[in-house]
Amino acid sequence: MAVPIEMPQLGESVVKGAIIRWLKEPGDAVNEYDPLVEVETDKVVTEVTARQSGVLLRIVVPAGETAQVGAILAYLGESEDEAIPEQTSAEVSSSMPAPASTISRLEPATPAAAKPARFSPVVLRIAAEHDVPLVELQAIKGQGKAGRVRKRDFLAYLETRPSSPSAEAPEPLPEPAQEPLEPGAAVELSPMRAAIAEHMLRSVQTSPHVTSIFEVDMSRVAAYRQAHRQAFERQGFSLGYTAFFVQAAVETLRGYPLANASIKDGRLMLHSDINIGLAVAVAGGLLVPVIKQAQALSLAGLVRAIDALAGRARTRQLTPDEVQGGTFTVTNPGMQGALLGTAIIHQPQAAILGVGAIVKRPVVIDDAIAIRPMVYLCLTYDHRIMDGFGANQVLGKMKDYLESYS
């Protein structure tokens, strides 16, 4: 009997996904857990795998189209001779053409263009457990189709991996590519942009947004970073400022559980774990991978987690689990030079921290003018959960933590 392959739920708020490409063709033999199709949502690019062995009978939603969660993507049977179900009106209504800009983006520029190595979610998870940075992972030669790095390839690499990673710092990741826009043109929203628009509109309609802004002296953090950055580089990691802001948020949220809460079914939920979402700019939008149980990580652990998650976000290799479960979000518009930015809350969280650019400027200290690296921290919070007094306490604690960093 033919078994339908359905579009899975790939995130807390994901309702549809775009089919990038099919990895199997009708008539191909399929083993259980074989990847069948690549799917893109506003959060991840991931694979839908087979739940049983058999033969791919028919593809219902071709590459370049989108489908709702639960829609039938294809049918899998025990043999090629098995009866193929006729396409129903429900199948037709559950899928829809993707915007033209998305379809053109999914097609390679040239048929012979080389494709980068790709990694299964299992490989990415094991790599994170062994602290293998993305730059090292990309150097592994896969024996799978089109150079795919399989689990067995990665485990074989681990057996021959040097005891200490390369001392070379990872190459900087490329800036997100921007599609050329012509003035006066009408451009369809990509699936990612459309989903972001929907989420942001729902957030401002759900939560009354209020923002508090504090100014912080980063002198002690800057001194610590300068003293220890080479030690991190010898381990293959770059010690950026983002890790310090995430660490400050974690240490603060330990004592202010309202900022690490959410509202569900009319009840206030205080979360025991601190799961920090980190906004990462990618081509065409923004992804928010989540550092799970950040309260259990040291500064070095946070640096490794940020490096791994941001790298996978920019190469569109995040797994669905890595973009779910956040309880607080940090976004850093200062990386592009913005002095400050008031962000929109990532639902259903209580607050989001916006970090501005670190700029040296004159400040008055003990009635004397000094030049210090200063930064604005902007906490946007849900006024249903927190009041200004509590939000200012949260920012005040972050300020004290950073200005007395040791």
Which amino acids are annotated catalytic? 383, 387
CA distance 68 to 18: 9
Q: Across-strand partners of 75? A: 4, 58
Q: What is the DSSP string of 65-120?
A: EEEETT-EEEEEESSTTSPPPPPPHHHHHHEEEPPHHHHHHHS-SSTTPPPPP-B-
Tell me, rounded to whole angstroms, the distance of Cα 63 from its chain centroid. Answer: 23
* Residue 317 in tokens: 């290799």
The answer to whether 53 and 76 are in contact (CB under 8 A) is no
The residue to which tokens 């991996």 are assigned = 161
For residue 377, count other CB atoms closer than 10 A to its CB.
Answer: 24
CA distance 308 to 360: 30
User: Please, where are the H alpha helices in 117-241?
Assistant: 121-129, 134-137, 151-160, 191-206, 219-234
